[in-house]
Structure 1
């Protein structure tokens, strides 16, 4: 038999593998593997079959899943169960998950997908901005953590977190600090990423003290809210911190000081033209003392509805003889007099 033998020459007339002939060319263990390949008894035309899809046809989803599985096999193992159960804002959980899967568009990651930008870190000028550098090695991040430690006793990044990937360094933090302290670090990392994007896309300037105030207020309000599924946004004064884009509409309810009562009001405009208002008065413990709501004429605007809600809320506070109140509404343009 020549050196260019065809596969058909190793198949008998009974449509079985010719093992003795195969063994004269190949090692026995390979012959055993070949013998397990099914041979149809009738002649059929060859066709391409994609084994990862039920119908045999290639799909982008199955191809992407194959690449993801191959990539996961190359990364250090990280148990994600703690991440999704951690007492963190959902946006920070998603941020951590993306960082672990190399999904954050850092400058190094953008270059890998052929989006070429200057590679330097925006904070410290390091020659290559990676997720591992930005959150574990950058001087700006380290200074924030040192300031938080001095002011509030926050944990620091363990010395063992000097590995190449965010995923591996995160696991080092969990092993060395435990999950609660790692969650504190995660809040800092999210704000570092938030600040980095503000610097790049809005040319806004920040200092370590501003970020520390943001981090501390965010975590304090998250614990006050007590609901780790709510959408939490920072309620720091945007004029004080220079964060004009932070929306008050997404802020959580913060209780007033003891002895002070908070009045919240709002107006609504439905798709069918109906308009309504509502208000609630609560004490420092979050207990509702008085609530009210009603429909309004359909030709009223939402601003008019909110103003009327404020008016009714003030009348309710006077009726209850409340000595001190804080008025809080979602529309900053609503007038305080009506």
Structure 2
């Protein structure tokens, strides 16, 4: 018997560099999620994961320029949302409520770019046939971005068993790579009982972290405060000091209400939200309308006032100036929008 042994060839780094130059660049899709990557949106039951993802999917499909204060490129993309958890009627009824909040132009774009699976699509993706059906459904949709709700419906064993988790995550990663899509997989975790949301809250967390390019946590506190947390990103910074708080309206749309320290929101005893630090910063500039501050001066006076680190203050200054709530001048100088030039009776410090 003749045994054929195949060896993988290698290429020189110089050639690899040239190949890389020919590859189309991959951009960030949203927040720290890179295009054509795969990761998780996870959190405890009833935290708002599905609705958060549905509206992100809609925002991508209709070409919005931001979602939860994170950049989107404004170009409508084909999106597929595969919901395995709920009945077709329940999910579609909620999507219609969301649809009715859109402008007429946005409705046309959602009709064109937002797809869901067929009504008789299997409720579980476990067998080889199920996975082939999933692959063909995504491929046939032509979607660039896909959401799957949820990994629980792909469990053919015990998810706390690392082997089972690894098989599911590996299959999803291969799916993302072969179909050249950005893939969001929703995953349920146990209740957190007042603890911060981390990867450790997922059973078999090491496997889920290893196979994911990103992980976004969604939590709902004991006092019904909901928030989004950047848990980790493989291709971007994930050291945000704050989480993004949100509410869900009667028409099933998440409404971003500002950033807050995770410990503060977990310890909050009532329904009141903490003061938005950006508003505090804006009010500071407005209370000193005749002064232009250098970036260093602004950071130095704002740090004790708002209790934030320098990087976060710089981020907020940029947001405030982009939203025309303060003025930004050349070389990083800032003032109130009510600043008067020296010729108009103002002064410069």
User: TM (normalized to structure 1)?
Assistant: 0.26
More helix by share: 1
Higher strand share: 2
TM-score normalised by length of structure 2: 0.25
Please tell me whether Structure 1 or Structure 2 has the larger radius of gyration of its CA atoms: 1
Q: Which has the higher contact order (CA 8 A, sep 6+)?
A: 2
